[in-house]
Amino acid sequence: MNDFSKNASRREFLKRTGMTSAMMLGGGLGAAHFAGAEPPTSGQLPEPASTKREKPFIAIQVGARSFVDEGVDKCLDTLQEKAIVNVLMPTVFTYGRGLSGRQVPGQPLPDHGAQEYDEIHGGSYTKVHPEYYRNSVIQDIRAPELGEFDILADVTPKARKRGMKIYCLFEEAYNPALMPNFEKIAEVDVYGKIGHSTCFNNPYARAFLTSMVQDWFSNNDLDGMMWESERQGPLNTALRADFSNNSNRSICCFCPHCLRKGKEKGINVERAREGFIALDRWASRPATLSSPSNGGFVIFWRLLVEYPEIAAWQDMWFRSQEEIYGLIYGTVKEVNSKAQVGWHIMHLVAMSPFYRADQNYARIAHVSDFIKPSPYNNCAGPRLAQYIKNVQSTIFRDFTLDEVLAMEYKLLHLEGEPSFNQLPTAGLSANYVASETARAIADVGGAVPIYPGIDIDIPTKLDEKRTQPSDVKAAVLAAFHAGAPGVVLSRKYAEMKLTNLAGAGQALRELKI
Ligand SMILES: [Zn+2]
């Protein structure tokens, strides 16, 4: 159990995935040839990380807009003073609103930064070096709204002087309307419609991802990166097993690359398609497709047994996502072998037993230097309530909302949390943070550090649970008491109240960190 054997085990994994130095040095198209080998089975774990005690990892996610509005030095002063932050996670790429821009419109402006709302375009918040994109069909990605400001070049030297580390935050959030050629890297749904995200098995999408990663790590002095891939796979999408209230869902991916891969794996791809369409009809039309004598669940289970291809397609989707983890991991290491690479695992993992089963921390640990689960306990109130409504409308339609929630608490091993009616305004307790942290630590067997995300003002409606300083303090204490060697203050500094951010500092001082 030493660094050498740990690295050797990862090199072995990368070798099995078909990723060689020559491929990655060849740039995007090299990565495009990355063949679909799979991470090891869940029974095997990489060697535990070094037991050497290191400084706790106190990270914060922060967008470029905050540095432009408040000034780089002033912003860094605030982060150090309020929350003893020693790791910056600057949002380098996203077209999403959750990690860039100011406060989300409609939410009260926080007690710092410019006191007006903004509009975002999104894209790359660092300079784009075209030579890295020669093999990418996507080229024009520089976010225009902040002029020449570069969240890496303009922030890194100042942060370094203060002893802070820099981990790029890379969100898989795209805006096809602003990205020429997006259709060439896009996922395709079960009905043949182009989706809003990329396909994990599309070689051009893979080339695009590796182009960006190579560009950032070749041109900046970075300590690591974290990728956010917030998608739940086709089966969870079909079952509405997520916390979105948007009815416009795409069951993906059925693009030619995925169909080819499915065939190679021996899956009957037409049966997979038929199965998902049948499932979608069952989920959308409960009244006509649930027989009164059998109820909803029996019909659902019958579909799953009649179409085992549904589960096979779901598993292939998650294995493909893990291949992208491996691809990004290997690409970073080729440029900077010391850089640390990890993954934000979306909030659904602390909400849905289905998604929890899909996200196998032990398997992911093979291509990770750290993992960030996201047990956001305040916004969990309304989000879990929505999740319960969603699954009660499909797979659990034989139950009441309270019964479904009670069952979920049992399945997630949570006790003493609010009833369905109280949930949106009460949120979940700090025990929820401790529970997911401890579970993740146990699952990876100490192989990689677990840095749970701490919810600080993640938006909820004004009459729902809102973050208080004591919530943040309790969540940080819970994470460390559960054994985490660090935390990631989330989602973005621009939406956090300083009084709430200071709750993290209070906990860390109490812990003598
Ligand atoms: Zn595909």
pLDDT of amino acid 469: 98
Beta bridge partners of 486: 57
Ligand 1: centre distance to CA 229 (Å):
15
pLDDT of amino acid 247: 81
296: pLDDT confidence band, cut at 50, 70 and 90? confident
CA atoms within 13 A on the CB side of 295: 9
pLDDT at 109 over 70: yes
pLDDT of amino acid 182: 98
Instruction: Summarize pLDDT for 471-505 with one digit per residue, the tens.
Output: 999 999 999 999 999 999 999 999 999 999 999 99
- Fill in the amino acid letter for 327: L
Ligand 1: centre distance to CA 459 (Å):
32
**Residue 351, by phi and psi: left (phi above 0), alpha (psi -120 to 50) or beta?**
alpha
Ligand 1: centre distance to CA 82 (Å):
44
Ligand 1: centre distance to CA 302 (Å):
27
Ligand 1: centre distance to CA 186 (Å):
8
Q: Which range (28-32, 181-185, 338-342) has the least confidence? A: 28-32
Alpha-carbon distance of 9 to 226, in angstroms, equals: 21
Ligand 1: centre distance to CA 247 (Å):
22
More confident residue, 5 or 253: 253
pLDDT at 16 over 50: no
pLDDT at 433 over 50: yes
Ligand 1: centre distance to CA 409 (Å):
34
pLDDT of amino acid 47: 62
Ligand 1: centre distance to CA 48 (Å):
34
Ligand 1: centre distance to CA 323 (Å):
13
Ligand 1: centre distance to CA 252 (Å):
7
The 3-state secondary structure of 447-490, one letter per residue: CCCECCEEECCCCCCCCCCCCCHHHHHHHHHHHHHCCCCEEEEE
More confident residue, 46 or 493: 493
pLDDT at 19 over 80: no
Ligand 1: centre distance to CA 253 (Å):
5
25: pLDDT confidence band, cut at 50, 70 and 90? very low
> Mean pLDDT across the stretch 43-65?
77
Ligand 1: centre distance to CA 363 (Å):
22
Between vectors from CA 40 to CA 34 and to CA 42, what angle results, nearest 5°? 140
Ligand 1: centre distance to CA 375 (Å):
29
Phi first, then psi: give them for residue 227, nearest 5 degrees: -105, 140
> Mean pLDDT across the stretch 375-402?
96
Ligand 1: centre distance to CA 320 (Å):
9
Ligand 1: centre distance to CA 89 (Å):
30
Ligand 1: centre distance to CA 25 (Å):
25
Ligand 1: centre distance to CA 310 (Å):
15
Ligand 1: centre distance to CA 209 (Å):
15
Ligand 1: centre distance to CA 301 (Å):
26
Ligand 1: centre distance to CA 32 (Å):
14
pLDDT of amino acid 288: 54
> Mean pLDDT across the stretch 332-353?
98
4: pLDDT confidence band, cut at 50, 70 and 90? very low
pLDDT of amino acid 20: 39
pLDDT of amino acid 29: 32
Instruction: Summarize pLDDT for 382-392 with one digit per residue, the tens.
Output: 999 999 999 99
Kindly provide the residue ranges of all beta strands, DSSP E only, lying in 244-339, ordered along the sequence: none
H helical segments located in 360-429: 361-364, 380-392, 401-412, 423-426
pLDDT at 300 over 50: yes
Ligand 1: centre distance to CA 172 (Å):
15
Of the candidates 237, 240, 229, 230, which has an alpha carbon nearest to the alpha carbon of residue 254?
Answer: 237
Instruction: Summarize pLDDT for 228-262 with one digit per residue, the tens.
Output: 999 999 999 999 999 999 888 899 999 999 999 99
Instruction: Summarize pLDDT for 59-79 with one digit per residue, the tens.
Output: 999 999 999 999 999 999 999
pLDDT at 289 over 50: yes
> Mean pLDDT across the stretch 171-183?
97
N residues, the chain:
513
pLDDT of amino acid 246: 86
Q: Which range (20-24, 315-319, 460-464) has the least confidence? A: 20-24
pLDDT of amino acid 42: 52
pLDDT at 458 over 70: yes
Q: Which range (46-50, 111-115, 211-215, 220-224) has the least confidence? A: 46-50
Share of the chain above pLDDT 90, in %: 85
> Mean pLDDT across the stretch 319-339?
98
Ligand 1: centre distance to CA 200 (Å):
6
Give yes or no for a contact between 492 and 61, defined as CB atoms under 8 angstroms apart: yes
